[in-house]
Structure 1
Amino acid sequence: MPPKREATEDLASLRLKSRYSYLEKREQLKLAELQRDVEEDNEEIAKYGSNLSKRELHEMERRRQTLQLALQRAKIDDSVNTGFFIPDEANLNESKLEVLNKKNKSDVYKSEVQLWEEEQTAKARAAQTQRPGREREDDYEFVFDEQQQIKWTSDGKDLNFMDPDKQQLQAQLDEAERKAKTIQETRASLPVAQHRDTIINAVKEHRILVLMGETGSGKSTQTPQYLRDSGYCKTGKIVVSQPRRVACLNLAARVSEEVASSSNSEAGKKYKPGAHRLGGIVGYNIRFDNKSGPDTEIIFETEGMLLREILADPLLSEYSCVILDEAHERTTDGDTLMALLKDLSRARPDDFRLVISSATLNAQKFSAYFDDAPILAVAGRTFEVERFYLPSPEANYLSATVTTIFTIHLAAPLDGDILCFLTGSDEILAAMENIQETSRKLGSRMKELIVRPLYSQLDPDEQALVFVPTPKGARKVILATNIAETSLTVDGVSYVIDCGYTKENQYNATTDMSQLVVVPCSRASVNQRAGRAGRQRKGSAFHLFTKFSYFNEMEEETVPEIMRVDLTPLCLLLKSLQINDVLNFGFMDPPPPATLAKALENLYALGALNDTGALTSVGRKLIEMPIDAKLARAILAADEFKVVDEVLVIAAMLSESATLFLRPKDKKVHADAARNRFVQESGGDHMLLLSVFNAWRDAEYDPIFAKENFLQQRTLNRCRDVYEQLGALCDRIEVQRSSNPGDHVGIKKALVAGYFQNAARMARDGQSYRTIKTGQTVAIHPSSCLHEPTRRPKLMLFHELVLTSREFARNCMPIESEWLMSAAPHYYKKEDIEKMSTDKKMPKGKGKVGVDGR
């Protein structure tokens, strides 16, 4: 019996010691976690400052005080542990037993150096639990008497390992050197690296150079660095234009990293602290976000921002070289830049260079346009791609895409990721939800499948996840728009699934309406998409259309954007540059005269042009705002009704409304109920957006508020940034800030002053609408709060049209007929207004379910 009791007592004491040990470790972990939280709080305060809510600041202060108390207590405990201790008899006997046990267990002698190495090993293991990239500040530092230090000599390197600070610094240097070596090896392996000297010499000898390089050759990241290394930044900056903001951000980040990695080899060059960070030597400039400074030498800009720079400085005297990247995409801004820079290069023949960079084989057309400029071709690094087509047309390419994804993932080895091309964010999110649901059902019966979306409105942090290497034993599937066609290169892709469609903005000059339409791709786009599968190894491309469609129903090249969009913003820009003859301006592909004529007519209707076609004071104010001319005109009118802040909020929210509301599949009822709480009586979508922003602002921009109401916090943050930057431009256009949130009529009248052309009245069937000026039939979009039959007004104003199953009006608002006549008496005839007021009553049963084409 006694031995059993002793064993029980020993087990109890072991449990007690284990519990104490656990609590001690848990206290250390909690303290480290609290320190990280306080560091993150300090970063948030430095970044957002006064924009943080009182609740957030209070929570941050509470965590800081808790950390201080915990550290003070730890110091007190340490001082107690380091004091003198007089043992009693029991403690003395126990100590003797411990000494005897240790002696019996091990008589191995350990030197001071071995003990120090064990201590450093323990510290290194503890440091692994910290997050990478965050600096660690120790609460204590060791103090040694210099006379007691042991000095070492060696016939090789200095043995700095005895100094923990030097050891940590050396580890950081080794990691930076390893990373830099990897980056430099990657740069050297790019196909364009073989043509470095040829590119530099060609730019030096010719004012204009057409650089043709296949996707993935490295021309976008390396060309500006080659020109910088050869001295082009001594007389000015190098600017690289991009059609898309996503490509702008990613390329700037990559080039900044490469420049930083090569800085050690730049002997004799001295830069300010932080110069090699993004925004230092390499920066970017996109709408509402400029990260560059006086030390910036290479800057990536969207084409629209470069046009605005030309507006301020027609000779671009700040730049020594302009690289028009992705010129083959033929955007309206890109074509306009080519026409303007063609004249600029003639005005600056000695100190300015222009490089036209294209990824397709139409380089001859660019060369002919730029007075037979020389062409330099750079081969890409591609492998064989096996292409598969459908035997018969597919009715639902979205469903077929998901099916093909799982077919590849379950049947093919994990030898590469999958890249899927879809038309827009709505299809991407729907496919993503379908894939995740199917993966949950299959469970452990399949390998891990990681789904990553990629589209222009996506948050930059989420976009960066696309480039994270796929873990071993898993496969990544990327659901992307045509942004992944040429602008961005994702490594590791071996399979491409191409739906064969894309979204295009099409404008009808007869009806004066723009529509976002899903159309078949061109054969050039299909070839570009297929090539993404063969960048690193042999790949496969699955086309969700027939081979007959490819050769007989798809155009050879994509129609230039300037041939199919509303040119009102372009004409306003050209008029601001004092280019009056817009019909004969030297575009590469002249736009339709009817479209140009309609654009000039629209500018006249907005008051931007006078009877002679010259720019008015209103037009000069409109060009100062980096938004649509109609929206800028509404802001000017808001000054008259003293509701400027409200219209600024609506302008900011309209730009992000497509990604504002969340509607999870399993919580659709709750999401709809949350959205309905913001609906204003007879207010429409514009007043709903204003109500959402004001409620979020009243909640002090609280993320919990956004989550509870199924709102995207990041989208709201972007709206706040746009609102603040538009507000900062008000002084430039002589608009005084004013606010009257209760004046809904004034807010609506201000919006009518800008969008009076987008007015529609209910048809006689009580179900659809017809635009007043052109008689085009449209329907309220299902996402609108006016979609409900009981809320449909007789007369409405809409923000834009989108064509899916039918023509839908998106972001609608009820208005009065008198407001149209007051805002645009030069546009609407009195008979049109009187006809609306005397129209026959709508038939009973208006707004029946199922009339909206759903």
Structure 2
Amino acid sequence: MNSGNPLPKRQRFSNGNGMDQSEDLYQHRCSLPIYSARGKLMRELRRNASSIVIGETGSGKTTQIPQYLVEGNMCKGGTIACTQPRRVAAISIATRVAKEMNVNLGEEVGYCVRFDDTTSAKTKIKYMTDGMLLREAILDPKLSKYSFVILDEAHERTVHTDVLFGVVKKAQKQRSGNEARALKVLVMSATMDVDHFSRYFNNAPVLYLQGRQHPIQLLYSSDSQSDYLFAAMVAVFQIHQKQPAGEDMLVFLTGQEEIETLVRSIKEVARDLPSDCPGIVVTPMYAALPSHLQMKVFQPTQPGRRKIILSTNIAETSVTIPGIKHVIDTGRVKAKSYQPGSGLDLLKVQWISQAQAWQRTGRAGREDSGTCWRLYTENEFTRLPANTIPEIQRCNLASVVLQLLALNIRDVLTFDFMDPPKKESLSSALEQLQLLGAVDKENNQQLTPIGRQMSVFPLEPRLARVILASKQHGCLEEILTIVSLLSVESIQHSPQNKREAALAAWRKFLSSEGDHVTLLTIYRAYKGVKGNKDWCFENFVHQRNMRHAIEIRAQLRDLCVKAGLPFMSCGQDTTPVRKCLVQGLFMNSAELQRDGTYITLDRKQAVSIHPSSCLFQCKPAYLLYNELVQTTKCYMRNVCVIDPQWLYDVAPDYFRQRVSRNR
């Protein structure tokens, strides 16, 4: 297949070592598998309103297609949006493309992620998270500033991506009458159910890009692994002792706790290795990690050393991490599953899909040939589901429905989802929003002024409602702190061999009013010592998570300024704080029974206080909780003591038949 017109060469520039980087980048672009298909690909994209592109990981589709569109003058005066499921991918790809185009990041090429918009009026290629494009659609449903929308990594089927499919499809239809202002849509992935996507986008043609940039050797485990975390550590050191320095590793794990456990274990084992082994640099990567720490994985490895990146599925797609030669795939992922009947939000470790497995494999062949070590048997791989179940079919839809209503999509029950969730889930979400005061009681397809304000906050609707309620109770400063701390992994940590010492250290922070006030006390103490590292160590406070919470708090504070909320503090009396929490979380309440157990007030479900709670040994008459988690029992996490009268004050109709008056 001929490439058509060759790539235009960019202005030359030097890297300071006498090497011509422009020529190197030009040669790199020409060597990508997508380059040979450039001419035919551009003809198809000109011809069709919507297209599906399937290309192996490393083929160059994410970095090159937007550049081809600019070089082919297909922007029509508009901007090219290329969405990514994750912020780290949007930032790193934009940085790469700006370098290839020899422009400053934020000018012709930029990115937009939550709380970080690095674009300008000159921007032609804009990499962004799908959530940010959705937020733009709330203000401009026709997406008027864009001429091309590229929906990348479509196989991931995140909630935002699935909603975006319908929003973009509707915008395209609204603009179809004017050829000069028509919106073109391109859906891309390395692997997905192409027929399903094609049908949804009006039988869009499917374009296949042949070839991978570099070969990847695939190795399976000979036996099933019962302890995948231990198996991962064994694989790390097998590779480390046999392969030369400079061949970095990427290990896929399920969450922060696992990653930090393995970081410690690898460092301990590495101390006893022979002196002729390369040095090890262990780098974690997960969503709760602050952005500047996430970006550390892209720093080049020093000569004679090996970088070992321990990551969640955040590194699964679109991210090229320099030096990665070996991928270790545990075959597991942590995923949410919501049950609308019980209100139970399960976050559990489960097997990945085959589509996810191939995405992980592709991380090993981005810059050179590589190897993927699958810590499961070939037979186990064949039993994996072909594709990931769309998140929209397994999560609480309150945030989704709030977003759709903010987009002025009236009948959410008939919204054009690619894979519609159950009507029961959508109806349950509408009911939640109505109870929170976000939806008009007479017309449940109309947002109230409170609902419109709630939609501005990138939070679960219940927590957004708590923030707005702080205006009434005069405690925004405290509520911002609590919501921020609830938005990160636990700020308390207790090593297995120091459990008693950790409990003793936390005792001075414990509040008889519950976990929310305890978190507030820890935060105030942390600020009092100005985040002292030694203080964190002595008190078993997770400094990294605390810093991340402070970043989130600053971002939420900016949104509160824009919303005109008054910044007030309730001081040492935390009753207003608990009253405020009730306004958003009143549906999450439980009552003590005569036999010493608890039942939820809404569904009469038997629940227990989680062992990690400061109230675990207590029996308050009424409790509020943030979430239910199912392990050996159904546990309430993050609980606080409340007065049942507060429940009546907030939602009298809801509780009239639910709360006994035996006080």
- TM-score, L = length of structure 1: 0.70
State whether residues 605 and 826 of structure 1, in contact with CA within 8 Å, keep that contact through their aligned partners in structure 2.
no
Residue 635 of structure 1 aligns with which residue?
467
Aligned residue identity for 1:410: Q
State the 1:600 CA deviation.
0.9
State whether residues 34 and 59 of structure 2, in contact with CA within 8 Å, keep that contact through their aligned partners in structure 1.
yes
Q: 1:732 to 1:439 in 2, by over 3 A?
A: closer
Q: Confirm or deny that 1:644 pairs with 2:471.
A: no
In structure 1, which of residues 512, 532, 546 is the aligned counterpart of residue 363 of structure 2? Answer: 532
State the 1:747 CA deviation.
0.6
Q: 1:216 to 1:761 in 2, by over 3 A?
A: farther
1:249-294, CA deviations, whole angstroms, 9 ceiling, x for partnerless residues?
Answer: 22222223333x3x5xxxxxxxxxxxx1x33333222223323333
Q: 1:369 to 1:810 in 2, by over 3 A?
A: same
Kindly name which structure, 1 or 2, has the bigger radius of gyration based on alpha carbons.
1
Residue 253 of structure 1 aligns with which residue?
95
Aligned residue identity for 2:157: R
State the 1:701 CA deviation.
6.1
Q: Confirm or deny that 1:608 pairs with 2:450.
A: no
1:73-103, CA deviations, whole angstroms, 9 ceiling, x for partnerless residues?
Answer: xxxxxxxxxxxxxxxxxxxxxxxxxxxxxxx
Q: Distance in 2 between matches of 1:499 and 1:509?
A: 30
Secondary structure of the corresponding residue to residue 164 of structure 2: helix
Q: Distance in 1 between matches of 2:296 and 2:514?
A: 37
Alignment of 1:2-13 (within 5 A): none
Residue 345 of structure 1 aligns with which residue?
172
Q: Distance in 1 between matches of 2:574 and 2:74?
A: 55
In structure 2, which of residues 152, 172, 177 is the aligned counterpart of residue 325 of structure 1? Answer: 152
State the 1:611 CA deviation.
2.9
Q: 1:750 to 1:318 in 2, by over 3 A?
A: same
Residue 394 of structure 2 aligns with which residue?
564
Q: 1:430 to 1:347 in 2, by over 3 A?
A: same
Q: Distance in 2 between matches of 1:507 and 1:234?
A: 43
Secondary structure of the corresponding residue to residue 225 of structure 2: coil
In structure 1, which of residues 549, 559, 575 is the aligned counterpart of residue 405 of structure 2? Answer: 575
Residue 230 of structure 1 aligns with which residue?
72
Q: Distance in 2 between matches of 1:176 and 1:580?
A: 61
State the 1:447 CA deviation.
3.8
Residue 743 of structure 1 aligns with which residue?
573
Residue 388 of structure 1 aligns with which residue?
220
Residue 41 of structure 1 aligns with which residue?
none
Residue 723 of structure 1 aligns with which residue?
553
State the 1:218 CA deviation.
2.0
Higher mean C-alpha deviation, range 423-432 or range 693-702:
693-702
State whether residues 821 and 833 of structure 1, in contact with CA within 8 Å, keep that contact through their aligned partners in structure 2.
no
State whether residues 246 and 304 of structure 2, in contact with CA within 8 Å, keep that contact through their aligned partners in structure 1.
no
State the 1:690 CA deviation.
2.2
What is the number of equivalent residue pairs in this alignment? 645
Residue 60 of structure 2 aligns with which residue?
218
Unaligned runs of 5+ in 1: 1-169, 264-275, 839-854
State whether residues 323 and 356 of structure 1, in contact with CA within 8 Å, keep that contact through their aligned partners in structure 2.
yes
Residue 602 of structure 2 aligns with which residue?
773
Aligned residue identity for 2:407: L
Greater RCO (Cα-Cα under 8 Å, separation 6 or more): 2
Residue 480 of structure 1 aligns with which residue?
311
Secondary structure of the corresponding residue to residue 602 of structure 2: coil
Identity %: 38
Residue 495 of structure 1 aligns with which residue?
326
1:382-411, CA deviations, whole angstroms, 9 ceiling, x for partnerless residues?
Answer: 4252332343x4332212221222233335
State the 1:699 CA deviation.
4.7
Higher mean C-alpha deviation, range 701-710 or range 622-631:
701-710
1:631-663, CA deviations, whole angstroms, 9 ceiling, x for partnerless residues?
Answer: 11112222111112221222222212x153455
State whether residues 685 and 785 of structure 1, in contact with CA within 8 Å, keep that contact through their aligned partners in structure 2.
yes
Secondary structure of the corresponding residue to residue 677 of structure 1: helix
- TM-score, L = length of structure 2: 0.89
Q: Distance in 1 between matches of 2:338 and 2:233?
A: 32
Q: Distance in 2 between matches of 1:704 and 1:403?
A: 33
Alignment of 1:688-837 (within 5 A): 688-699=518-529, 709=539, 711=541, 715-730=545-560, 733=563, 735-762=565-592, 766=596, 769-787=598-616, 789=617, 791=618, 793-803=620-630, 807-834=634-661, 837=662
Q: 1:666 to 1:734 in 2, by over 3 A?
A: same
State whether residues 390 and 543 of structure 1, in contact with CA within 8 Å, keep that contact through their aligned partners in structure 2.
no
Residue 598 of structure 1 aligns with which residue?
428
Alignment of 1:166-565 (within 5 A): 174-175=16-17, 178-232=20-74, 235-259=77-101, 261=102, 263=103, 276=104, 278-349=105-176, 350=179, 351=181, 352-379=183-210, 380-391=212-223, 393-411=224-242, 416-444=247-275, 446-535=277-366, 539-552=370-383, 554-565=384-395
Q: Distance in 2 between matches of 1:515 and 1:782?
A: 17
Secondary structure of the corresponding residue to residue 560 of structure 2: coil
State whether residues 192 and 387 of structure 2, in contact with CA within 8 Å, keep that contact through their aligned partners in structure 1.
no
Q: 1:476 to 1:732 in 2, by over 3 A?
A: closer
State whether residues 208 and 370 of structure 1, in contact with CA within 8 Å, keep that contact through their aligned partners in structure 2.
yes
Q: Distance in 1 between matches of 2:598 and 2:378?
A: 40
Q: Distance in 2 between matches of 1:171 and 1:388?
A: 44
Secondary structure of the corresponding residue to residue 505 of structure 1: strand
Cα RMSD after superposing both structures: 3.0
Q: 1:786 to 1:489 in 2, by over 3 A?
A: farther
Residue 3 of structure 2 aligns with which residue?
none
State the 1:591 CA deviation.
0.9
Q: 1:541 to 1:626 in 2, by over 3 A?
A: closer
1:748-794, CA deviations, whole angstroms, 9 ceiling, x for partnerless residues?
Answer: 0111110111223456664x64433224444444443334x2x5644
Unaligned runs of 5+ in 2: 1-11
Q: Distance in 2 between matches of 1:496 and 1:695?
A: 42
* Higher normalized helix content (fraction of residues): 1
Aligned residue identity for 1:331: T
